[in-house]
Structure 1
């Protein structure tokens, strides 16, 4: 390859790298915007409706108490008095939720089921925050954390406060080490919980 060809190739590589960096920065910024907590909105429509709006903005799905269907479309959330709309289940699969928005979960008193699957922004900080939300500690019965690369033993260990948890599924978590000791610790704190751990963790 001659000098001109090498220079052209180098320019293409630099432009490609700059484009990737811009896209990554843009999506990081956008996700950050989606996760900003609007406390005025919570006061206006109640914690469940505000949390549902946040979750759907971030690509998650919710199921309300007394509803059979999952809601995934922000524009088709059910209407009605805030005191009659309660989130019962959250599916965060492929969503961009992260710790900054977890204040939206504060006050949700009826969440029984929660899934984090391929959540690239989910971290130990998120799980630690979840484990300190009184309403979630009291209600949550089923939790799945799957294919979330930023979760380590620290985040999973924090779940020991979820006293009503009956089922905990952990799968494809490369950050988990010493799984036997981790399960033993959780079993002591959560004797009524069935813990399913992927051997590959």
Structure 2
């Protein structure tokens, strides 16, 4: 019979192994395949990445969200340009953000309960030229690794019209961070629930 402390240690060890496995698998899902981007185009390759990681996309001119990797639309690639991304509870991480570089029509992005979204991701996102021009709506909700630094980096998204921030425990300087955003993004509607 195992003593209680020993059985607890085995459970904890199994938990660590399981988390390590899922972290490794998620990193594999986020590995960028540059040959695939060239072969099928940036929107198709980004769609494959996002859906593989558990996110959803909506294409320009369509109302329906694409959620199933196995039912990605076929046909001329020019017919399916990503307009919106819902990354709720997805495993997207910084490693895969190169897939976003050549997307020209993305107007909306939602990060909710994304455990791998951190400051580095938001900084990378805000420096993508095409997104600086097209992105108008951004939501960041319950992403525990985002701090004031990541939120302040959004200043580069000059065409942002709506920014919703909620349940971000890493935000420590709420007032000064919001002042920075309001100063550099005067036409952006800020909705904040950081209590």
Q: TM-score range by the shorter chain?
A: over 0.9
Pairwise CA RMSD of aligned residues? 1.0
Larger deviation: 8-17 or 95-104?
Answer: 8-17
How far apart, CA to CA, are the structure 2 residues paired with 1:183 and 1:154?
Answer: 11
Larger Rg: 1
**SS of aligned partner of 1:128:** helix
Match of 2:123 in 1: 128
Match of 2:26 in 1: 31
Query: Shift of residue 81 of structure 1?
Result: 1.6
Match of 1:45 in 2: 40
Match of 2:173 in 1: 178
TM-score, length of structure 2 as denominator length: 0.97
**SS of aligned partner of 2:58:** strand
Aligned equivalent of 2:144, options 140, 145, 149: 149
* Partners of 2:165 and 2:194 within 8 A in 1: no
How far apart, CA to CA, are the structure 1 residues paired with 2:59 and 2:66?
Answer: 8
How far apart, CA to CA, are the structure 2 residues paired with 1:173 and 1:112?
Answer: 23
How far apart, CA to CA, are the structure 1 residues paired with 2:85 and 2:148?
Answer: 23
Query: Shift of residue 199 of structure 1?
Result: 4.1
In structure 2, runs of 5+ residues without a counterpart are none
Q: Structure 1 residue 102 and structure 2 residue 106: aligned?
A: no
* Partners of 2:164 and 2:192 within 8 A in 1: yes
In structure 1, runs of 5+ residues without a counterpart are none
Match of 2:106 in 1: 111
* Partners of 2:138 and 2:163 within 8 A in 1: yes
* Mapping for residues 16-95 of structure 1, pairs under 5 Å: 16-95=11-90
| Aligned length, in residue pairs | 195
How far apart, CA to CA, are the structure 1 residues paired with 2:130 and 2:75?
Answer: 23
